[in-house]
């Protein structure tokens, strides 16, 4: 049962190399892809996690992962342990520099290893809430740019404008409340995006003319922002 997951992991280095600038985000997206494709995530992740914990604890036993990630390289384990301790956001340190040890294979193994570490690192924390589909998120970002939300808000991935009148919306998906008042769930966020003064009387944010679907897309995008 583990083999397909490893098979997916084995293909990761190319994809990861392609998105070097946003390593943390790339790692996340990949982790979810694995989750979606393997189905019985809980059990499988628990098994991977258990195996990795043993390895991280410095046990002498090589972990057999279909022969692909049986890394016992001391340096990489140290890096891995550090990343594990720091949580899921310490993406950058997980990648051995390409060619650092003169071999592409080591690079691959390192990346595959870090994927597993990511899964292991996720284990104790609750799962991230389910996210809207990627198309809605992309549409939402485009709509936010089109309506000029940046006139008041600093928005991730939108270079200009970065208005200061409203709060910056980085990591909005992890925020508990909308405007300090309403629970941050999708229906309420969509309603607020479209007609803030009705949702939170007295808010300086005006009702912005847009369709309900646009509002929902923007809300989906905002809730997908994790950092």
Partner 1 sequence: MTSAGTGWPPAVFDAAGPYSEPVTTLAWVLLLGAGGVLAIVLAALWAALYGSAALKARLGGERSIWILGFGFPVIVLTGLLVWGLILTGSLSAARVDGSEMRVKIIGEMWWWRVHYQDAAGRETMRDANELHIPVGTPVLLELEAADVIHSFWVPRLGGKMDMIPGRTNRLLIQADKPGIYKGQCAEYCGGPHALMGFVVVAHAADDFARWKASRLPASGAGGRGLDIFLSSGCAACHTIRGTPANGLAGPDLTHVGARQTLGAGILPNNPGTMAGWIADAQAIKPGNRMPAYHQFGGDELRAVSDYLVTLK
Chain residues that interact with partner 1, rule: CB under 8 A: 146-149, 151-152, 160-166, 197, 202-209
Beta-bridged to residue 182, according to DSSP, are 178
Quick one: 66 or 167, whose CB is closer to partner 1? 167
- Residue nearer to partner 1 on the CB measure, 177 or 204: 204
Half-sphere exposure for 98 (CA within 13 Å, toward CB): 6
| Beta-carbon count within 10 A of 153 CB | 22
When the beta carbons of 52 and 214 are compared against partner 1, the nearer one is: 214
Nearer to partner 1, 58 or 209 (CB): 209
DSSP 80-119: HHHHHHH-TT-GGGGSPPTTTTS-HHHHHHHHHHHHHHHH
Give the separation between CA 204 and CA 196, rounded to whole angstroms.
8
Sign of the torsion formed by the C-alpha atoms of 182, 187, 190 and 195: negative
Rounded to a whole number of angstroms, the minimum distance from the CB of residue 149 to partner 1 is 7
Least separation in angstroms between residue 79's CB and partner 1 is: 40
Q: Which is nearer to partner 1, 82 or 206 (CB)?
A: 206
Q: How far is the CB of 222 from partner 1 (least distance, A)?
A: 15
Rounded to a whole number of angstroms, the minimum distance from the CB of residue 147 to partner 1 is 6
SS3 147: coil
* DSSP annotation string for 14-83: HHHHHTGGGHHHHHHHHHHHHHHHHS-HHHHHHHHHHHHHHHHTT-SSPP-STTSS----HHHHHHHHHH
Least Å from the CB of residue 134 to partner 1: 24
Nearest to 86 by CA among 97, 94, 96: 94
Q: Which is nearer to partner 1, 12 or 218 (CB)?
A: 218
Q: Provide the minimum distance between the beta carbon of 119 and partner 1 in the complex, in angstroms, as a whole number.
A: 41
């Amino acid at each position: 049962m583990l083999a397909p997951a490893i098979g997916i992991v084995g293909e990761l280095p190319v994809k990861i190399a392609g998105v070097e600038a946003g390593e943390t985000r790339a790692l996340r997206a990949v982790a979810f892809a694995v989750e979606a494709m393997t189905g019985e995530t809980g059990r499988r992740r628990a098994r991977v996690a258990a195996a990795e914990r043993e390895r991280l604890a410095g046990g002498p036993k090589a972990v057999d992962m279909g022969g692909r990630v049986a890394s016992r390289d001391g340096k990489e384990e140290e890096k891995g342990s550090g990343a594990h301790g720091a949580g899921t956001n310490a993406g950058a340190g997980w990648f051995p520099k390409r060619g650092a040890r003169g071999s592409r294979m080591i690079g691959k193994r390192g990346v595959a290893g870090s994927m597993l570490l990511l899964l292991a690192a996720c284990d104790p924390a609750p799962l991230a809430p389910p996210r809207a589909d990627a198309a809605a998120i992309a549409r939402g970002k485009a709509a936010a740019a089109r309506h000029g939300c940046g006139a008041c808000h600093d928005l991730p991935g939108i270079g200009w404008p970065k208005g200061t009148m409203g709060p910056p919306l980085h990591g909005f998906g992890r925020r508990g409340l909308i405007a300090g008042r309403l629970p941050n769930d999708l229906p309420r966020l969509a309603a607020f995006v479209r007609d803030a003064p009705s949702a939170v009387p007295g808010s300086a944010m005006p009702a912005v003319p847009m369709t309900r679907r646009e509002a929902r897309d923007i809300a989906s995008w905002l809730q997908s922002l994790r950092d």
